[in-house]
Amino acid sequence: MAILNIVKDGDEILRKKSKDIEKIDDKLLTFIQDMKDTMEKAGGVGLAAVQVGKLRRVLVINTGEEELTLINPKMLKSGGSQEDLEGCLSCPGQWGITRRPMKVEVETLTTEGKKVKVKAEGFLAKAICHEMDHLEGKLFYDDAVRMLTQEEIENL
Protein backbone atom coordinates (compact mmCIF):
# COMPACT_ATOMS: atom_id res chain seq x y z
CA MET A 1 0.00 0.00 0.00
CA ALA A 2 1.16 3.48 -0.77
CA ILE A 3 -0.30 6.87 -0.04
CA LEU A 4 0.10 9.06 -3.10
CA ASN A 5 0.48 12.81 -3.21
CA ILE A 6 -2.76 14.60 -4.14
CA VAL A 7 -2.27 17.33 -6.75
CA LYS A 8 -3.82 20.65 -5.73
CA ASP A 9 -5.79 23.24 -7.67
CA GLY A 10 -3.42 25.54 -9.56
CA ASP A 11 -1.34 22.65 -10.91
CA GLU A 12 -1.90 22.64 -14.67
CA ILE A 13 -2.11 18.83 -14.88
CA LEU A 14 -5.64 19.07 -13.43
CA ARG A 15 -6.66 20.93 -16.61
CA LYS A 16 -5.42 18.23 -18.98
CA LYS A 17 -7.45 15.48 -20.58
CA SER A 18 -6.71 11.96 -19.39
CA LYS A 19 -5.95 9.12 -21.80
CA ASP A 20 -7.59 5.72 -22.05
CA ILE A 21 -6.16 2.78 -20.14
CA GLU A 22 -4.87 0.32 -22.73
CA LYS A 23 -3.95 -2.61 -20.57
CA ILE A 24 -5.29 -3.85 -17.26
CA ASP A 25 -2.29 -5.43 -15.58
CA ASP A 26 -0.88 -5.88 -12.08
CA LYS A 27 0.77 -2.48 -12.24
CA LEU A 28 -2.62 -0.83 -12.85
CA LEU A 29 -4.32 -2.88 -10.14
CA THR A 30 -1.65 -1.84 -7.62
CA PHE A 31 -2.11 1.77 -8.70
CA ILE A 32 -5.90 1.47 -8.21
CA GLN A 33 -5.35 0.10 -4.70
CA ASP A 34 -2.99 3.00 -3.97
CA MET A 35 -5.67 5.41 -5.22
CA LYS A 36 -8.23 3.83 -2.87
CA ASP A 37 -5.83 4.04 0.09
CA THR A 38 -5.02 7.66 -0.74
CA MET A 39 -8.70 8.58 -1.04
CA GLU A 40 -9.55 6.87 2.23
CA LYS A 41 -6.70 8.52 4.12
CA ALA A 42 -7.72 11.92 2.75
CA GLY A 43 -11.35 11.31 3.75
CA GLY A 44 -12.65 11.69 0.20
CA VAL A 45 -15.53 10.06 -1.64
CA GLY A 46 -13.84 9.92 -5.03
CA LEU A 47 -10.47 10.26 -6.69
CA ALA A 48 -9.41 10.40 -10.34
CA ALA A 49 -5.94 9.31 -11.47
CA VAL A 50 -5.05 12.82 -12.61
CA GLN A 51 -5.40 13.94 -8.98
CA VAL A 52 -2.37 11.82 -8.15
CA GLY A 53 -0.52 12.97 -11.25
CA LYS A 54 -1.42 10.28 -13.79
CA LEU A 55 -3.36 11.33 -16.89
CA ARG A 56 -5.23 8.05 -17.19
CA ARG A 57 -8.95 7.38 -17.40
CA VAL A 58 -9.41 5.58 -14.12
CA LEU A 59 -11.29 6.68 -11.02
CA VAL A 60 -12.34 5.27 -7.68
CA ILE A 61 -15.41 6.12 -5.62
CA ASN A 62 -16.48 5.03 -2.16
CA THR A 63 -19.61 6.66 -0.79
CA GLY A 64 -19.56 4.49 2.32
CA GLU A 65 -22.45 2.51 0.86
CA GLU A 66 -21.17 1.83 -2.60
CA GLU A 67 -17.68 1.30 -3.95
CA LEU A 68 -16.83 1.66 -7.62
CA THR A 69 -13.75 1.56 -9.81
CA LEU A 70 -14.34 2.94 -13.30
CA ILE A 71 -11.87 2.38 -16.13
CA ASN A 72 -12.36 4.27 -19.41
CA PRO A 73 -15.91 5.25 -18.38
CA LYS A 74 -18.34 6.63 -20.93
CA MET A 75 -21.57 8.43 -20.11
CA LEU A 76 -24.44 6.65 -21.85
CA LYS A 77 -27.43 8.44 -20.34
CA SER A 78 -28.16 11.08 -17.79
CA GLY A 79 -31.41 12.52 -16.52
CA GLY A 80 -33.06 14.62 -13.91
CA SER A 81 -31.24 17.19 -11.86
CA GLN A 82 -29.99 17.76 -8.31
CA GLU A 83 -28.37 20.67 -6.55
CA ASP A 84 -26.07 19.80 -3.71
CA LEU A 85 -22.94 20.77 -1.81
CA GLU A 86 -19.71 19.71 -3.47
CA GLY A 87 -16.00 19.88 -2.75
CA CYS A 88 -12.87 18.21 -4.09
CA LEU A 89 -9.70 16.74 -2.55
CA SER A 90 -7.70 18.86 -5.01
CA CYS A 91 -9.47 22.04 -3.91
CA PRO A 92 -9.13 22.20 -0.12
CA GLY A 93 -11.19 24.90 1.54
CA GLN A 94 -13.46 25.40 -1.48
CA TRP A 95 -17.10 24.37 -1.42
CA GLY A 96 -19.87 25.07 -3.85
CA ILE A 97 -23.40 24.20 -4.85
CA THR A 98 -23.43 22.29 -8.12
CA ARG A 99 -26.18 21.13 -10.43
CA ARG A 100 -25.72 17.54 -11.51
CA PRO A 101 -27.92 14.88 -13.14
CA MET A 102 -29.98 12.85 -10.66
CA LYS A 103 -29.44 9.65 -12.61
CA VAL A 104 -26.65 8.42 -14.83
CA GLU A 105 -25.80 5.32 -16.76
CA VAL A 106 -22.16 4.74 -17.65
CA GLU A 107 -20.30 2.09 -19.54
CA THR A 108 -17.01 1.06 -17.95
CA LEU A 109 -14.42 -1.66 -17.85
CA THR A 110 -14.20 -3.63 -14.63
CA THR A 111 -10.82 -4.43 -13.07
CA GLU A 112 -11.16 -7.83 -14.82
CA GLY A 113 -11.44 -6.03 -18.14
CA LYS A 114 -15.13 -6.76 -18.65
CA LYS A 115 -17.31 -4.08 -20.23
CA VAL A 116 -20.34 -3.41 -18.02
CA LYS A 117 -23.05 -0.80 -17.57
CA VAL A 118 -23.45 0.92 -14.22
CA LYS A 119 -26.59 2.80 -13.20
CA ALA A 120 -26.43 5.30 -10.37
CA GLU A 121 -28.72 7.80 -8.67
CA GLY A 122 -28.45 10.68 -6.24
CA PHE A 123 -25.17 11.09 -4.37
CA LEU A 124 -23.41 8.33 -6.31
CA ALA A 125 -24.49 9.87 -9.64
CA LYS A 126 -23.08 13.20 -8.47
CA ALA A 127 -19.78 11.58 -7.48
CA ILE A 128 -19.48 9.81 -10.84
CA CYS A 129 -20.08 13.09 -12.70
CA HIS A 130 -17.53 14.94 -10.53
CA GLU A 131 -14.85 12.31 -11.12
CA MET A 132 -15.59 11.96 -14.84
CA ASP A 133 -15.18 15.74 -15.17
CA HIS A 134 -11.63 15.33 -13.81
CA LEU A 135 -10.87 13.08 -16.80
CA GLU A 136 -11.71 16.03 -19.07
CA GLY A 137 -9.65 18.53 -17.10
CA LYS A 138 -12.69 20.10 -15.44
CA LEU A 139 -13.03 21.10 -11.79
CA PHE A 140 -16.29 21.24 -9.85
CA TYR A 141 -16.28 25.03 -9.48
CA ASP A 142 -16.06 25.61 -13.26
CA ASP A 143 -19.82 25.57 -13.55
CA ALA A 144 -20.99 25.52 -9.96
CA VAL A 145 -24.31 27.23 -9.35
CA ARG A 146 -22.48 29.27 -6.72
CA MET A 147 -19.50 28.97 -4.38
CA LEU A 148 -19.89 29.17 -0.62
CA THR A 149 -18.58 32.20 1.22
CA GLN A 150 -15.93 31.83 3.90
CA GLU A 151 -18.60 32.42 6.55
CA GLU A 152 -20.84 29.71 5.13
CA ILE A 153 -17.90 27.29 5.04
CA GLU A 154 -17.11 27.97 8.69
CA ASN A 155 -20.71 27.13 9.57
CA LEU A 156 -20.81 23.86 7.60
The rounded distance, in Å, linking the Cα atoms of 65 and 4 is: 24
Q: For the CA atoms of 97, 15, 124, 27, what is the dihedral angle to 10 degrees?
A: -160
CB nearer Ni ion, residue 90 or residue 108: 90
Residue of 67, 86, 131, 154 with catalytic role:
131
Q: Residue 24's closest CA among 70, 67, 66, 60?
A: 70
In the complex with Ni ion, which residue's Cβ is closer, 24 or 89? 89
When asked if residue 148 is in the footprint of Ni ion (CB under 5 A), the reply is: no
Residue nearest to Ni ion (CB): 88
- From the CB of 130, what's the least distance to Ni ion, in Å? 5
Q: How far apart are alpha carbons 138 and 126 in whole angstroms?
A: 14
Q: Which stretch binds Ni ion (CB under 5 A): 20-28, 64-72, 80-88, 143-151?
A: 80-88
Return residues touching Ni ion (CB under 5 A).
88
